[in-house]
Structure 1
Amino acid sequence: MCGITGWISYRRDLTGQQASLDAMTETMSCRGPDAQGSWVTPRAALGHRRLAVIDLPGGAQPMEARTDDGTVAMVYSGEAYNYRELREELRRRGHRFETDSDTEVVLRGYLQWGEELAGKLNGMYAFAIWDPRTEKLVMIRDRMGIKPFYFYETDDGVLFGSEPKAILANPLATAEVGPDGLREIFSFAKTPGVAVWEGMRELKPGHVAVLDRSGLREHAYWQLEVSEHTDSQQETVAHVRELLEDIIARQLVADVPRCSLLSGGLDSSAMTALAAKQLGEQGETVRSFAVDFPDQAENFRAMDISPTQDTPFVHAVKEHVRCDHKDIILDGAALSDPAVRRAAVGARDVPVGLGDRDNSLYLLFKAVREQSTVALSGESADEVFGGYPWFHDERREAETFPWLVGASPMDSTGVLAEDVARRLELGSYLQDSYASAVALTPLKEGEQGLEKRMRQVSYLHLTRMVQSLLDRKDRMSMAVGLEVRVPFCDHRLVQYVFNTPWSLKTFDGREKSILREATRDLLPESVVQRKKSGYPGSFDPRYVAAIQSQASELLSSGHAALELCNAGVLREAVAADGATITAQQRGHLERALDLAVWFDQHSPVIKFN
């Protein structure tokens, strides 16, 4: 796993721009703490930061491949889980390899298949290849958008990077945010391709973008499609289990220490149990980590998305599968440390406002990184199998994104100043965004009623909500140099389950019926019967008191970020009783504090027209 960046220019001579390339590359030192590399020619400058995971001595980048017509170069981030099969196929076609890395397989795959390489890869990846033979840059992102990729068109080429901060480090890019950028920040409906910053775009999942002297073109090489599901319930369960066995086996491949992120929910427990089974056959024990908070049992408040505490279920899995487990305990003082907030906001490049949930994830990953370099995560299983509570109640019928219906803790728009809220018209923006997303849903001919609606709801989650969660996971983990792999995002599993009828996905009257049945034999009964419970938040009263104090100081500081905020709403949240403060009030405090950090870090120029 790595950080990549680059600059293509058809009129400038980039051989004199090493300092700018180094500045872009250095912004991602956390993504690649093991090595730095650059490659500069008149038309192309590529930068790379490496986190060594496979073939530690042999996978240095940027990587070159010499041909009779010129040297093709690549910067690559991610993992190709089928690289061994591809390497054998390429060897049969006459290619010779100098390393054991998946990077070289991808580069030589391009020499063999060109842009068609994208459809042959199984994994999480974002990479750019400069081909001097045609003076073109080929940019490719994995099917589900697990790894990030941003680009910024210039007057004679493009800048690109794993994160916006790499692009913003170039003097040609400006840190401006317009109305749609602000709408994206406050809507929690992540529009594919939108990157918040003016002039910047995100390469869409499953897309290829090609730049040459005639301009930049982007097209999809993969997207969710409808097909007839003919497997019986028993066959469906068996096939999901078979897929999961194969996926976990592929994603356990690494030349560095691995572990599992265990929450005690069905998703992470099934993943951990499968990993334990496979590693056990090799004489190894799976290592696992969970997050917890002091006095959580006394302070915990059940919510719709988090009805139960994690710890009892985590420990049940630990005993059942006999993993080498460690709880990472995070107290209010650690979570409210302004330095941690700065690190979390800096990692994400935008002020998302999830507060303690972002801070704790950052600290959890930081602690895990001290003992492991690769971690497996249960992320996206709820989107794939239909695990969220709003999949199963009246919220699924709402003409908007279901996760935003009602008093959602993700909605902190109330913190906006009234004039800002009026100018942004977030309600209209969300409706337009929802309508556009639903219109793209692939449907079977004649599909009606509940099956049609649930296909739409699944599509919204797999193309919108999952993008926010995968981006969060990537940024927080890579901020500490930890590679997190997401088995439930394997496109084969996603495509298969997407076409499984809703009636079959809920055959036992519950959420995630297929996953539960496919892994029941590996899990303690308490976990098999546990309801969905989201990533935990802290209920430590010291944390609430700390952010109220910090927000009070912010209000009296005259900070530039307050121009976007409703001071009255913030004062009410600051004055609220810590024992009865609402989730929305906490969200207002978190959003304002994140905005202040974001302004400090990026000095964004806010434009409303």
Structure 2
Amino acid sequence: MDFDRSLAGERANILAMTGTMALRGPDAEGVWLGEHVALGHRRLAVIDLVGGVQPMTADRDGTAAATITYSGEVYNYRELREELAGLGHHFRTQSDTEVVLRAYLEWGDAFVDKLNGMFAFGLWDIARERLVLARDRMGVKPLYYYATPAGVVFGSEPKSVLAHHTVPTEVDADGLRAALTMVKTPGESLYRGMRELRPGHVLVVDRNGAQERAYWRLPTREHTDDLETTVGTVRDLLRDIMTRQMVADVPVGTLLSGGLDSSVVTALAAAAPNERGGRVRSFAVDFVGQTENFRPEAWRDAPDAPFARAAAAHVGTDHHEVMMDVATMMDPLHRTSAMMAMDAPSPMGDMITSAYLLFGAVREGSTVALSGESADEVFGGYNWFHDPDALAAPTYPWLASQYRSNGGVNPAADLLEPDLAKLLDLPRYEADTYHSAIAEVEHLPAADPGERRMREVFYLHLTRWVQILLDRKDRLSMAHGLEVRVPFCDHRLVEYVYNTPWTAKTYDGREKSLLRGAAAGLLPDSVLQRKKSPYPSTQDPRYGQMLHDRVNEILDDRGSQTVDLLNVARIREMLDNGMESSGFGPNRRRMELLVSLDDWLRRYPVRLRLEN
């Protein structure tokens, strides 16, 4: 959007931007050109496969009134459609996109308050000449923008914004800090000058400039329900959420690891009304030889596959196991494809690549999948929620827990050339962002110190940590044209559980007591009582050796931009000390990050501007 010039001839620019989104939207492409706005869209058809073409325009009294480019789903669109029809609106399609447009025309900027779903969109009000950018409450769907002197460039991913000829691919010190830490600050991106619209926010751009406002924040309120009522409310909310999120005009499946979260989603999906009929498909990822050769770890005491099979058999899904081998996960094509889907490096390594490959396999049988993502953040499932030392540390609890084996310091700092490490000062960056996040938390006046701290911990997870995971989920799935829905991110459930006291969340002395109580009777006892297990990571020693070899190749490449950033002697020393078989080992995490960082700097025309 640009108020200083006509964009009627911008088709080539818009097509360049939408071209980067072809994997997100493989079903159709559309462009809408106005005097000062140009909108592009790549469509993944999920609801109203014929009528939901975008960009979509709605009329008022026979005159074009508003146009939208929209990503995601509004799960209460049928109720809203009925309400709007009662107010005199007429609909040309069966799509939720048209409902969003009509809701804006009826209720103005307050329309976002009525939407229950995951969404990101740009809506152009033709008569008022204003652009409305909006993002769902939990940030399930991404939206990035770059402000220009007379407007804004926006898109679903950084690559779409960077494809515009006016946007430079630059990364400053804060961007590199974000790339090297497990910290995601709402509103910020890795790329200089580029912003990510915060979850639960709306940005309005008109001739007077840009104004951003929050339409939703985590509310703080007194919880007055007794335990039985609380468990029942969680159960009722989950059933309603799943009924809404099963609606689609394409095949729907579930991601089933055999843990409590994904098993609950799968059980509820199997029991929910299915408009397409037939059994729900469930999909699990596993590694060749992992179950037979599994070695218990601090983070995982049993392999996933037997639990996933037990859950699938109990609820009656059509179950599929997607097997990964080491060579496939270390294939440069797959690793690079996953990194480019993320637009950023990551220390998660094989957990990124295997998720990318899993989503590709799921897409062969389903267009929509339901995930148990975010249940740990909502209900308190991670081990550090129950670790007094991690809770007492003046930092993000996940960092306190993960850095413990490295003396409490970010392992990535050891990779860096000493002057760069001093410039970036990762511990200071992590501390500053932590204290900024804590300052946002609202407390109940009468809360005791223990409940105050747990409210802070949940706030950190629901506004910071979950953003890392949702970003990973969206990018890697949509790179295959697979829509992954996240039932545990329904804002009604999030609000209710956030305000439930910690004593009620752990009423049976275990993690995720409320979820386990709400799921009673849905699952076999072995799954219902299973201890928290993270996303799987291969234990095959060959993976560590191949990672070791790749790092050596990078260090020996005199043309590598990455080597200039590294403490090469220290890294060679780490390599000599060996690579842990666990994906959570600090050396393996370091090397995963190094390889991913090198790939990112090779594939993206990144200009580093590292002065403070």
Q: Do structure 1's residue 55 and structure 2's residue 22 form an aligned pair? A: no
Aligned-residue offset at 1:578: 4.8
Question: Residue 152 of structure 1 aligns to a residue in which SS?
Answer: strand
Q: Do structure 1's residue 500 and structure 2's residue 496 form an aligned pair? A: no
Aligned-residue offset at 1:70: 4.5
Corresponding residue for residue 477 of structure 1: 477
Separation (CA, whole Å) in 2 of partners of 1:178 and 1:300: 42
Aligned-residue offset at 1:594: 0.7
Corresponding residue for residue 21 of structure 1: 14
Aligned-residue offset at 1:283: 5.7
Q: What aligned pairs does 1:28-107 form with structure 2 within 5 A after superposition?
A: 28-67=21-60, 70-107=64-101
Judge conservation of contact 1:257–1:374 (CA < 8 Å) in 2: yes
Separation (CA, whole Å) in 1 of partners of 2:414 and 2:293: 26
Q: What aligned pairs does 1:140-151 form with structure 2 within 5 A after superposition?
A: 140-151=134-145
Corresponding residue for residue 312 of structure 1: 306
Aligned-residue offset at 1:602: 1.2
Q: Do structure 1's residue 385 and structure 2's residue 386 form an aligned pair? A: no
Query: Which is further off, 263-272 or 445-454?
Result: 445-454
Q: 1:282 to 1:54 in 2, by over 3 A?
A: closer
Q: Do structure 1's residue 167 and structure 2's residue 161 form an aligned pair? A: yes
Corresponding residue for residue 121 of structure 1: 115
Corresponding residue for residue 608 of structure 2: 606
Judge conservation of contact 1:347–1:475 (CA < 8 Å) in 2: yes
Question: Residue 284 of structure 1 aligns to a residue in which SS?
Answer: coil
Q: Do structure 1's residue 402 and structure 2's residue 397 form an aligned pair? A: yes
Q: 1:141 to 1:279 in 2, by over 3 A?
A: same
Corresponding residue for residue 426 of structure 1: 426
Q: What aligned pairs does 1:397-476 form with structure 2 within 5 A after superposition?
A: 397-408=392-403, 411-476=411-476
Give, as a single letter, the amino acid of the residue that structure 2 aligns with 1:40: L
Corresponding residue for residue 4 of structure 1: none
Deviations 1:403-426 (A, max 9, x none): 001444985332222221110111
Match of 1:254 among 227, 233, 248: 248
Aligned-residue offset at 1:571: 1.8
Give, as a single letter, the amino acid of the residue that structure 2 aligns with 1:102: D
Question: Residue 29 of structure 2 aligns to a residue in which SS?
Answer: strand
Query: Which is further off, 249-258 or 441-450?
Result: 441-450
Gaps in structure 2 of 5+ consecutive residues: none
Give, as a single letter, the amino acid of the residue that structure 2 aligns with 1:487: P
Q: What aligned pairs does 1:226-265 form with structure 2 within 5 A after superposition?
A: 226-265=220-259
Judge conservation of contact 2:473–2:484 (CA < 8 Å) in 1: yes
Q: Do structure 1's residue 527 and structure 2's residue 523 form an aligned pair? A: no
Separation (CA, whole Å) in 2 of partners of 1:203 and 1:344: 23
Aligned-residue offset at 1:570: 2.7
Judge conservation of contact 1:548–1:573 (CA < 8 Å) in 2: no
Sequence identity, in percent?
53
Deviations 1:177-217 (A, max 9, x none): 11111111112110000011111100000001000111111
Separation (CA, whole Å) in 2 of partners of 1:417 and 1:171: 33
How many aligned residue pairs are there? 602
Separation (CA, whole Å) in 2 of partners of 1:569 and 1:258: 48
Corresponding residue for residue 3 of structure 1: none
Separation (CA, whole Å) in 1 of partners of 2:76 and 2:504: 30
Separation (CA, whole Å) in 1 of partners of 2:478 and 2:121: 16
Query: Which is further off, 441-450 or 481-490?
Result: 441-450
Question: Residue 291 of structure 2 aligns to a residue in which SS?
Answer: helix
Judge conservation of contact 2:371–2:487 (CA < 8 Å) in 1: yes
Query: Which is further off, 161-170 or 410-419?
Result: 410-419
Give, as a single letter, the amino acid of the residue that structure 2 aligns with 1:566: N
Separation (CA, whole Å) in 2 of partners of 1:198 and 1:383: 30
The alignment yields a C-alpha RMSD, in angstroms, of: 1.6
Q: 1:225 to 1:250 in 2, by over 3 A?
A: same
Q: 1:513 to 1:605 in 2, by over 3 A?
A: same
Give, as a single letter, the amino acid of the residue that structure 1 aligns with 2:554: L
Aligned-residue offset at 1:280: 7.6
Corresponding residue for residue 206 of structure 2: 212
Query: Which is further off, 297-306 or 374-383?
Result: 297-306
Corresponding residue for residue 486 of structure 2: 486
Give, as a single letter, the amino acid of the residue that structure 2 aligns with 1:157: G
Judge conservation of contact 2:544–2:581 (CA < 8 Å) in 1: no
Q: 1:578 to 1:502 in 2, by over 3 A?
A: closer
Corresponding residue for residue 289 of structure 2: 295
Corresponding residue for residue 9 of structure 1: 2
Separation (CA, whole Å) in 2 of partners of 1:411 and 1:206: 33
Separation (CA, whole Å) in 2 of partners of 1:573 and 1:523: 44
Judge conservation of contact 1:30–1:479 (CA < 8 Å) in 2: yes
Judge conservation of contact 1:279–1:285 (CA < 8 Å) in 2: no
Separation (CA, whole Å) in 1 of partners of 2:603 and 2:98: 36
Separation (CA, whole Å) in 1 of partners of 2:125 and 2:464: 33
Corresponding residue for residue 567 of structure 2: 566
Question: Residue 309 of structure 1 aligns to a residue in which SS?
Answer: coil
Separation (CA, whole Å) in 1 of partners of 2:297 and 2:157: 33
Query: Which is further off, 559-568 or 92-101?
Result: 559-568
Give, as a single letter, the amino acid of the residue that structure 2 aligns with 1:106: V
Judge conservation of contact 1:331–1:540 (CA < 8 Å) in 2: no
Corresponding residue for residue 352 of structure 1: 346
Q: Do structure 1's residue 335 and structure 2's residue 336 form an aligned pair? A: no
Judge conservation of contact 1:573–1:586 (CA < 8 Å) in 2: no
Question: Residue 283 of structure 2 aligns to a residue in which SS?
Answer: strand
Give, as a single letter, the amino acid of the residue that structure 2 aligns with 1:340: H
TM (norm. structure 1) is: 0.96
Separation (CA, whole Å) in 2 of partners of 1:32 and 1:521: 39
Separation (CA, whole Å) in 1 of partners of 2:362 and 2:229: 37
Deviations 1:490-536 (A, max 9, x none): 00000000010100000000000010011120111111111100001
Deviations 1:465-498 (A, max 9, x none): 0000000000000011100000000000000000
